[in-house]
Amino acid sequence: MLKHLLPLAALLALSACTTLSTSTPPASSTVRYEAASFADLPDWGQSMASQSLEGLQLSCRSLQGRAAWKTICAEAATLDAANLPAITRFYEARFAPWRIVEPGNGLITGYFEPLLAGGHQYSAQTPYAVYGVPADLRVLDASAAQLGAEVLVARQGTGNRLQVVPGKTRADAGEVLVYPKDFVVDSRTRALKGRIDNGRLLPYYTRAQINAGKGINTAPVLAWAEDDTELFFLQVQGSGRIQLEDGSYVRAGYAEQNGHGYKSIGRWLVDNGQMKLSDVSMQSIKEWIAANPARKQELFNANPSYVFFKTLPADNNGPLGAMGVPLLGGYSVAVDPRYIPLGAPVYLSTTWPLDGAPRPLNRLVHAQDTGGAIRGGVRADFFFGFGTEAGLYAGRMKQSGRLWLLLPRGMQPAAHL
């Protein structure tokens, strides 16, 4: 997932969920934190696993330089992963749990790292390109005040970045005009994604335009995929592996996005009378596509967002989350960082998906990722790991749940983190 990954929740959360919005939404005043004890956490005494310690050790790569975490991270590095009672005592001594409360039922969804079949070269069997970032894609970072202006002037910065020229409304040679109202603004970074045409920054091409050939002549091809449906879901996940014909793998990770808001294809199917809301899952969407091949591209193009990838080291570690550390299958979650700080331990209480009697899923995980559809305090996207079985669970994960934020003792949860 995968920095800026669009999690599977973005596909299945059928309200108006988009990766982008016209402004940064304020943190909700309805979210509050209630002081709790470890006895309040369901199955706390029986749920500890060595992966929970490993998750903290990974988070500490980023947190260890902060004063509140320095001692915790140093102690965590010395613990025996096999000594679960000692790990449990460590968390109880060093952390205090806070239950996150907001109106309604909490929502826990899932995501995973998919595996695609592909090849090094274009062929009749592998006709679908996995694209890197197009050379003509430009990204403009601007402040909230600048985004409220009628017109901006920008000039080329480093790489594909543009920089605002303060105080100007008319462009000189080598500069471009930008009209912020023409763009959808990335609510997390306040970035505009576009292309330069005749001295003006225009919104970058939509998925439909890219599929029709716009812009991709400047994009490198990282690999070729056998199945365009699986490639679409790779974009939804934001990261995955492509197995090539010689048995080797290419690991593709999120690099950039075209700047258009994510539109749920699950919502499109419901709105067009193709599926009931209660039936929507990754598996049911794939079944609809198989039964309606002539409408497949129409469905895909209903989502104007398009993700471009970069090649990551093909090791056995998990994909990188928004913290820049590998995600652990079953022990990492994506959260809304307005309410849960990245790196913090989170106690999750929910149930496993799939048919049958509800089976508890209670465990200590770590907030190591974010996602465009992850909005709210009691909201998490559970990383199931790599491969087909992980995808089966992730595609059907839409469970109610509760979350407790674990903070170093003495630290108070802020209203807006």
| Cα(115)–Cα(386) distance, integer angstroms | 8
**Amino acid at residue number 199:** G
**DSSP bridge partners of 140:** 162, 192
How confident is the model at residue 415, as a pLDDT?
42
The torsion region of residue 115 among left (phi > 0), alpha (psi -120 to 50) and beta comes to beta
How confident is the model at residue 17, as a pLDDT?
31
Counts of helices then strands in the chain (DSSP H, E): 12, 20
Residue with tokens 């790196």: 343
Q: Which residues contact 416 (CB under 8 A, 6 or more apart)?
A: 26, 27, 338
How confident is the model at residue 243, as a pLDDT?
93
**Amino acid at residue number 391:** G
**CB atoms closer than 10 angstroms to residue 147:** 21
How confident is the model at residue 144, as a pLDDT?
87
How confident is the model at residue 18, as a pLDDT?
28
What fold is seen in the domain 1-133+221-417?
Barwin-like endoglucanases (2.40.40)
Residue 19 DSSP one-character state: S
Nearest to 333 by CA among 102, 58, 33: 58
Low-confidence ranges of the chain (pLDDT < 70): 1-29, 186-189, 315-316, 355, 415-417
How confident is the model at residue 340, as a pLDDT?
95
How confident is the model at residue 327, as a pLDDT?
93
How confident is the model at residue 308, as a pLDDT?
96
Per-residue model confidence as pLDDT tens digits over 337-356: 999 999 999 999 999 997 67
How confident is the model at residue 28, as a pLDDT?
57
Tokens of 41: 């956490």
Residue with tokens 């995973």: 112
How confident is the model at residue 316, as a pLDDT?
60
Q: Is the dihedral of CA 40, 43, 48, 51 positive or negative?
A: negative
Q: Which residues contact 48 (CB under 8 A, 6 or more apart)?
A: 84, 87, 88, 91, 364
How confident is the model at residue 29, as a pLDDT?
67
Compute the CA torsion angle 154, 134, 207, 4 (nearest 10 deg).
-80
β-pairing verdict for 161-164 and 138-141: parallel
Every domain of the chain with CATH number 2.40.40.10 lies at 1-133+221-417
In this prediction the pTM is 0.76
| Cα(210)–Cα(134) distance, integer angstroms | 11
